[in-house]
Amino acid sequence: MASILIRTLIIYILLTFTLRIMGKRQIGELDVGDLVSTLLISEIAAIPIDDPDIPLLNAIVPILFIFSLEVILSTLKNKSERVKRCLDGESVFIIYKGRLLQSALKNNRISINELLSAIRGQGVGDIKDVEYALVEQNGSISVIEKNKGELAHAIVIDGEVIEATVKHLGYNEGWLDKRLGECGAGLGEIFLMTVTDKGDINIIYKDKEK
């Protein structure tokens, strides 16, 4: 019994350390990679606790490997928006400017009842009052009501142009170059650049390294 308690304590300390370093969020906010890592770690951690004959290293080594892999992937995603979109996918409109995109519902395997439930969950009683609804990268549904402000579309993130969004809004590279010229900014200086449906632009510059 003492051996099991000691092994459990060691695994508990290891899991607490790795999950804190990995910066885990609530389960409902985890993306696919985070959720897979969490489930794998929990399964691997249980093995030496269930069977005292299995060496602790059989759990410690895989847990540290998954932890290292998660940290590396998180770093890559933070450094490159393209890598993040490749690994996590992109946000998808299911209601755009008040129009329900039925094909997007089918492609994301969301029933109309699930959508209505998500809309009600955000305090909107009628779907006709929704201007935008998006399936976010973590699977949650965001809702913006009509007459509650415009949606700001991210067109540059950490110096990288989100070409699909620029094209979707009806703009092109020439338009973006002109706007950057007016602001006197280079792509490499921009942390976030957004544009609303009315064309209002907001730019957040990167913090300058000391």
Q: 75-114, pLDDT tens digit by residue?
A: 887 777 677 767 667 788 999 888 999 998 888 888 999 9
pLDDT the model gives residue 139: 77
Whole-angstrom distance, CA of residue 153 vs CA of residue 165: 7
The region that residue 180 occupies, defined by phi over 0 for left and psi between -120 and 50 for alpha, beta otherwise, is alpha
pLDDT the model gives residue 101: 92
- More confidently predicted of 178 and 185: 178
- More confidently predicted of 84 and 29: 84
Whole-angstrom distance, CA of residue 30 vs CA of residue 138: 6
For the chain, domain boundaries:
2-87, 92-145, 153-205
- More confidently predicted of 155 and 138: 155
Whole-angstrom distance, CA of residue 112 vs CA of residue 109: 10
What would be the CATH architecture of the domain defined by 92-145? Answer: 2-Layer Sandwich (3.30)
pLDDT the model gives residue 27: 47
The mean pLDDT value for 150-176 works out to 87
Percent of the chain with pLDDT over 70: 87
CB 36 within 8 A of CB 69: no
Examine the pLDDT at 187 and tell me if it is beyond 50: yes
Residue 194's nearest CA partner among 144, 153, 147, 146 is: 153
Whole-angstrom distance, CA of residue 56 vs CA of residue 53: 9
Q: Which residues contact 15 (CB under 8 A, 6 or more apart)?
A: 41, 42, 45, 63
Q: Three-state DSSP class for 190?
A: strand
Top CATH class of 153-205 equals alpha beta
Examine the pLDDT at 26 and tell me if it is beyond 60: no
153-205: same fold as 92-145?
A: yes
